[in-house]
Structure 1
Amino acid sequence: MNKIVAVQDLGHKDYKETWDYQEALFNDVVDVKVKNRREGTHVETPNHFLYVEHPHVYTLGKSGDIDNLLVDEKVLAAKGATFYKINRGGDITYHGPGQIVGYPILDLDNFFTDIHKYLRFLEEMVILTLAEYGIKAERSEGETGVWLDVGTPFARKICAMGIRASRWVTMHGFALNVNADLGYFDMMIPCGIKGKAVTSLHVELGKKEVDVEEVKTKLLKHFATLFEAELVQEKAEA
């Protein structure tokens, strides 16, 4: 089993360009698996972890309800935002500046073949990272992602998650609000869940800005521990 994970930081990159890149990496992994099965070979499958920061964009998952986007395309355009229907699970979400988006493209045959466990590990990675900032984050039963003050009138989401998996290969991932402009969340019903707020790390810490690179490093540390992975930094493709 190949537990080496190639990490690339794509910087500030368009959503559609990143989605296409994800698809290419995902398809390459699946192709290796199909060829191994067809030809009886044992070529190792690669694993990837992409970091990216997107321009303002709203994405709607396969099972999502378009009514959870509360504005039309003209309003989105005026706000400099785009919209895509995509092939992950989950409902509507927002990505934008000040948010750490992570896309693990893993062959779970290299780790464990359990999608539920995979999602719980991604949540735990975020929970452990936030704990380093003195923030008690947790799961909310039946609602994927990471939350604060669950079970109170002040429950608020700080990290959204939505994935796609085929042949035990994953894509899409998580979006952690670090220095996010929360006003953009007002134009949708986040993840289709009414009546619950959204927050960002800088708001919770009472800071103007949090060091994003520091947060990325902490996330990768916990990812490597949880998945028993060896991380290798790769230069991002242009």
Structure 2
Amino acid sequence: MNKTIELQDLGYKDYKQTWDYQEQLFKGIVDTKIKNRREDANLQTHNYFLFVEHPHVYTLGKSGDLSNLLLNETQLAEKGATFYKINRGGDITYHGPGQVVGYPILDLENFFTDIHKYLRFLEEMIILTLAEYGLKAERSPGETGVWLDVGTPFARKICAMGVRASRWVTMHGFALNVNANLGYFDNIIPCGIRGKAVTSLNVELGVKEVSTDEVKEKLLKHFATLFQAEFFNKQN
């Protein structure tokens, strides 16, 4: 079992280009697994973890409701945003500057074969990271992602999640609001959940900006511990 994970920070990158790249990596892992089964081979499968920041974009999961997007094509263009229907679970969400977006593309057979556990570990990574900033983040029963003040009238979401898995290979992932422009969430019903607010780490801390590099370091530290994994950067 290969518990090493290749870390790639893609910087500021278009959503569709990143999605296509995810699909390419995903297909490579799946193809290796098919070859292993058909030919009784024992080729090692790779694991990847992509960090990225997207231009303004709204994405709708395969079980989502298009009516949760409150903008038409003209209004999208006016806001400099794009829209895609994609192949992850979940409803509608927003990505944009000031978010730390992470896409783990893993062969879960290298770790454990349990999608529920995988999602809970992603949530736990966020919860542990936010605890380092003095925030008590939690899960909200029946709602994926990570929240603050669950069970109160002030409940607000700070991290959205949506994944796809096939043959125990994952793609898509999480979007943590670090220095996000929360006004863009006003154009959707986030994750199809009415009456729940959205927040960002800098807002919660009462500062103008939080270091995204520092947040990424903390996320990777907790991910490595939870998954008993080791990260490496590919040498060009």
Instruction: Assess same fold via TM > 0.5.
Output: yes
Q: How many percent identity over aligned positions?
A: 79
CA contact (8 A) 1:9 1:235 kept: no
CA distance 1:235–1:73, shift in 2 (3 Å): farther
TM-score (structure 2 length as normaliser) = 0.99
- The structure-2 alpha-carbon separation of the partners of 1:47 and 1:134, relative to structure 1 and needing over 3 Å to count, comes to same
Q: Offset of 1:234 from its aligned partner? A: 2.6
Instruction: For 1:93, give the aligned amino acid.
Output: T
Partner of residue 199, structure 1: 199
- Quote the residue 2:82 is aligned against: 82
Deviations 1:206-236 (A, max 9, x none): 0000000000000000000000001002368
Q: 1:45 to 1:142 in 2, by over 3 A?
A: same
1:11-30 equivalences under 5 Å are: 11-30=11-30
How many aligned residue pairs are there?
236
**Alignment partners' CA distance in 1, 2:234 and 2:208:** 31
Cross-structure match for 2:142: 142
- C-alpha deviation, 1:113, in angstroms: 0.2
Q: Cα deviation per residue 1:66-85 (whole Å; 9 max; x = unaligned)?
A: 00001111111000000000
Give the SS at the match of 2:162: strand
Q: 1:149 to 1:235 in 2, by over 3 A?
A: farther
Contact 1:136–1:148 (Cα < 8 Å) also in 2: yes
Q: Does 1:52 align with 2:13?
A: no
Q: Distance in 2 between matches of 1:202 and 1:6?
A: 29
1:233 aligns with 2:233: yes
* Deviation string, structure 1 residues 11-66 (Cα, Å, up to 9, x no partner): 00000000000000000000000000000011110000000000000000000000
For 1:208 and 1:74, how far apart are their aligned partners in 2? 31
| Residue 146 of structure 2 corresponds to residue 160 of structure 1 | no
Cα distance in 2 for partners of 1:112, 1:74 equals 45
Matched, 1:170 2:157: no
SS at match of 1:90: coil
Deviation at 1:185? 0.1
Post-superposition CA distance 1:71-119 (Å, at most 9, x none): 1111110000000000000000000000000000000000000000000
State yes or no: 1:38 paired with 2:38: yes
- Structure 1 segments (4+ residues) deviating >2 Å: none
CA distance in 2, matches of 1:178, 1:116: 25
TM-score of the aligned structures, taking structure 1 as reference length: 0.98
Q: Residue by residue, what CA displacement relative to the aligned partner does 1:95-149 show, whole Å, maximum 9, x if unpaired? A: 0000000000000000000000000000000000000000000000010000000
Give unmatched runs, 5+ long, in structure 1.
none
Q: Identify the residue that residue 187 of structure 2 maps to in structure 1.
A: 187
* 1:69 equivalent in alignment to 2:69: yes
